[in-house]
């Protein structure tokens, strides 16, 4: 390939729409006292400016596809010159926004095998839909070593039958319990302000409710409508979207870990989600979603069909009874620190004056603090009951969480750092936690297990080093091109 091209001109239209929205919001917020005509004039000027900038960037940006790399050259005031080797691409995904649908185009997103800007594509290219599909097919044959076209991909049966009603339920119930409670508290506070305070003080809690609850739920529902997932060879593809279409593919070798997650309400209903940690691919949900909220048995079955490399039976080791004390001490310390912080904030803001409180007010404050301490102690009990560790030949499994639980599967060969840590209470009883560090889609990621005997916690680092010494660890299993195979192994971090 030695093709040079520019993006489709519809990117100028997208810039115009962004300018119009920004201009209207800006002028309405800061120019509302100057009259309607001034507001519209400011909005028009901002829109023209955004359009001119978008047109300049479109005219001065060129994409060149060589035999081995993509070269993006932007010759504007702030010049940009990016070279992306095909061998470093993790995926070439296709998104179709509302503007794309109206103009018959599609946007190609190029993600590399790194943790830098993993939530954003390193390069974007908008083309006519047929050209985008053809280019993606050609690059996919290089990246994923498969000759299946997008049209043939679309005929592959999904491994998880997910209805849109389940997506709506997933949007509400898949969030963490803390996030759900915070959103509901902000909504309740807004309603109370509206009913008993004539709406005064409603703006801030309402904004916080929209930002923490309403907007994330709506975004998840719109993104995962019409959900499909399938595997062809060693490549997994996820498709979804209502107004904007998403199609993302990744190779099994790029999966660092897999997580079965169960928030509190979902766990009470016997449901779970399946997520994966993939180097080079993230998104706003941090981990690509492999299965929305479904019955736990169906999620376990999907893991075996979709990623049998991770579905390996191993023996569970639960926390010993002696771990209950350090877990409780840690929970009480966290509760005390949180209560002290809350009281300090209230004192600073002037909402809490101990000398001026009524007897009922004192009882209310004491009840709230006692409830908070009880919640933390119950969490300590749940942590002790739920946490476990499983050490297999090629894989490490951890059960984590108190109210919200998860089971995470890690490949030993993806572990960058392994060690143990222990506080005073745990160390005196011969206990410690296992801590592993790995390069993830969001940068460095550390995971800490429950509290186990030192002999159990220290096994992970022993296994990782043993795999390096005896040759079981082979970074070439996770690379794609034979040209890299001459590079000597330097441990879990690869070449």
Q: What is the residue-level pLDDT of the chain in tens, covering all 495 positions?
A: 556 788 999 999 998 998 888 888 777 766 666 777 777 888 888 899 999 999 999 999 999 888 788 888 888 888 888 888 887 776 777 888 888 888 889 888 887 755 444 456 778 889 888 888 888 877 777 766 555 555 666 677 888 889 999 999 999 999 888 888 888 888 888 888 787 777 677 787 888 888 888 888 988 998 898 999 988 888 888 888 887 778 777 878 778 889 999 999 999 999 999 998 887 665 555 577 899 999 999 999 999 889 888 877 777 888 888 888 888 887 778 777 777 776 676 666 555 555 555 566 666 767 777 777 788 888 888 888 899 999 888 888 999 988 999 999 988 888 878 888 888 888 888 888 888 887 665 556 788 888 888 888 888 888 888 887 887 776 556 554 333 333 333 333 343
Distance CA 187, CA 196 (A): 14
Question: Interior CA angle at 416 toward 413 and 417, to 5°?
Answer: 120
Q: For the chain, give the number of residues.
A: 495
The dihedrals phi and psi of 112, each to the nearest 5 degrees, come to: -100, 170
99: tokens are 């503007």
> 417: helix, coil or strand?
strand
Question: Interior CA angle at 186 toward 182 and 189, to 5°?
Answer: 135
For the chain, the C-alpha Rg in angstroms (whole number) is 26
172-207: string of b/e by CB count within 10 Å (b at 16+)?
A: ebbbeeeebebbeebbebbeebeeeeeeeebeebbe
Confirm if 39 and 20 have CB atoms less than 8 A apart.
Answer: no
Confirm if 57 and 76 have CB atoms less than 8 A apart.
Answer: yes
| pLDDT given at position 110 | 83
Taking the chain, what is the end-to-end CA distance rounded to the nearest angstrom?
Answer: 28
CA torsion through residues 341, 344, 348, 351, sign: positive
CB count within 10 Å of CB 280 equals: 20
Taking the C-alpha atoms of 359, 363, 365 and 369 in order, what is their torsion angle to the nearest 10 degrees?
A: 150
Confirm if 290 and 238 have CB atoms less than 8 A apart.
Answer: yes
| pLDDT given at position 454 | 87
How do 417-421 and 105-112 pair as beta strands?
Answer: unpaired
380-411: string of b/e by CB count within 10 Å (b at 16+)?
A: bebbbebbbbbbeeebbbbbbbbbbbbbbbbb
CB count within 10 Å of CB 297 equals: 11
Helix H segments across 127-271? 129-143, 150-154, 164-173, 177-196, 203-209, 215-224, 264-268
Distance CA 103, CA 254 (A): 34
Confirm if 387 and 319 have CB atoms less than 8 A apart.
Answer: yes
| pLDDT given at position 345 | 62
Distance CA 104, CA 161 (A): 28
Distance CA 145, CA 122 (A): 22
Element (H, E) at 74: strand 69-74
Q: In the chain, what are the domain boundaries? A: 1-78, 315-495
Cα–chain center distance at 166: 20
Among 115, 124, 105, 137, smallest CA distance to 237 is for 137
Helix H segments across 61-163? 98-103, 129-143, 150-154
Who's near 441: CB < 8 A, 6+ residues apart? 115, 118, 119, 277, 278, 279, 280, 281, 282, 286, 287
The dihedrals phi and psi of 133, each to the nearest 5 degrees, come to: -65, -40
CB count within 10 Å of CB 345 equals: 11
Distance CA 375, CA 339 (A): 12
Confirm if 177 and 263 have CB atoms less than 8 A apart.
Answer: yes
| pLDDT given at position 50 | 92
pTM of the model: 0.72
Confirm if 402 and 412 have CB atoms less than 8 A apart.
Answer: no
CA torsion through residues 319, 322, 324, 328, sign: negative
Q: Strand 417-421's sheet: what is its strand order?
A: 417-421, 431-440, 443-453
302: tokens are 């999907």
């Amino acid at each position: 390939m030695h093709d040079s091209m520019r993006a489709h001109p519809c990117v100028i239209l997208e810039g115009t729409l962004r300018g119009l929205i920004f201009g209207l919001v800006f002028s309405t917020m800061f120019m509302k006292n100057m009259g309607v005509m001034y507001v519209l004039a400011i909005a028009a000027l901002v829109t023209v400016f955004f359009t001119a900038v978008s047109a300049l960037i479109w005219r001065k940006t060129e994409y060149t596809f060589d035999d081995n790399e993509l070269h993006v050259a932007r010759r504007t005031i702030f010049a940009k010159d990016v070279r992306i080797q095909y061998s470093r691409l993790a995926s070439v995904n296709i998104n179709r926004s509302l503007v794309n649908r109206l103009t018959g185009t599609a946007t190609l997103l190029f993600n590399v095998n790194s943790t830098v800007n993993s939530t954003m594509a390193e390069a974007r290219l908008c083309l006519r839909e047929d050209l985008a599909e053809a280019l993606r097919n050609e690059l996919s044959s290089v990246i994923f070593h498969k000759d299946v076209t997008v049209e043939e991909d679309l005929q592959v049966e999904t491994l998880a039958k997910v209805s849109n009603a389940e997506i709506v339920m997933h949007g509400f119930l898949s969030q963490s319990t803390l996030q759900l409670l915070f959103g509901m508290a902000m909504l309740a506070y807004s309603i109370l302000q509206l009913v008993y305070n004539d709406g005064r003080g409603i703006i801030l809690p309402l904004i916080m409710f929209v930002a923490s609850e309403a907007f994330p739920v709506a975004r998840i529902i719109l993104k995962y409508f019409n959900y499909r997932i399938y595997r062809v060879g060693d490549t997994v593809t996820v498709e979804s979207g209502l107004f904007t279409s998403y199609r993302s593919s990744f190779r099994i070798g790029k999966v660092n870990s897999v997580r079965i997650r169960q928030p509190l309400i979902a766990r009470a209903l016997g449901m779970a989600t399946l997520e994966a940690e993939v180097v080079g691919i993230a998104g706003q949900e941090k981990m690509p979603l492999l299965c929305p909220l479904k019955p736990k048995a169906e999620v376990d079955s999907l893991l075996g069909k979709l990623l049998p490399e991770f579905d390996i039976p191993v023996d569970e080791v639960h926390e010993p009874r002696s771990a209950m004390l350090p877990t409780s001490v840690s929970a009480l310390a966290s509760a005390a620190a949180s209560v002290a912080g809350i009281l300090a904030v209230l004192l600073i803001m002037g909402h809490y004056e101990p000398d001026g409180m009524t007897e009922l007010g004192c009882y209310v404050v004491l009840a709230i603090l006692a409830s908070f301490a009880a919640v933390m102690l119950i969490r300590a009990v749940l942590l002790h009951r739920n946490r476990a560790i499983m050490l297999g030949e090629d894989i490490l499994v951890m059960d984590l969480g108190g109210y919200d639980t998860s089971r995470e599967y890690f490949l030993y060969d993806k572990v960058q750092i392994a060690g143990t840590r222990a506080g005073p209470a745990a160390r005196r009883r011969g206990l410690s936690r296992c801590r592993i560090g790995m390069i993830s889609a969001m940068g460095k990621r550390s995971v800490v297990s429950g509290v186990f005997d030192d002999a159990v916690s220290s096994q992970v680092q022993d296994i990782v080093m043993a795999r390096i010494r005896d040759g079981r660890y082979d970074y070439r299993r996770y690379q794609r091109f034979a040209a890299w195979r001459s590079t000597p192994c330097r441990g879990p971090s690869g070449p």
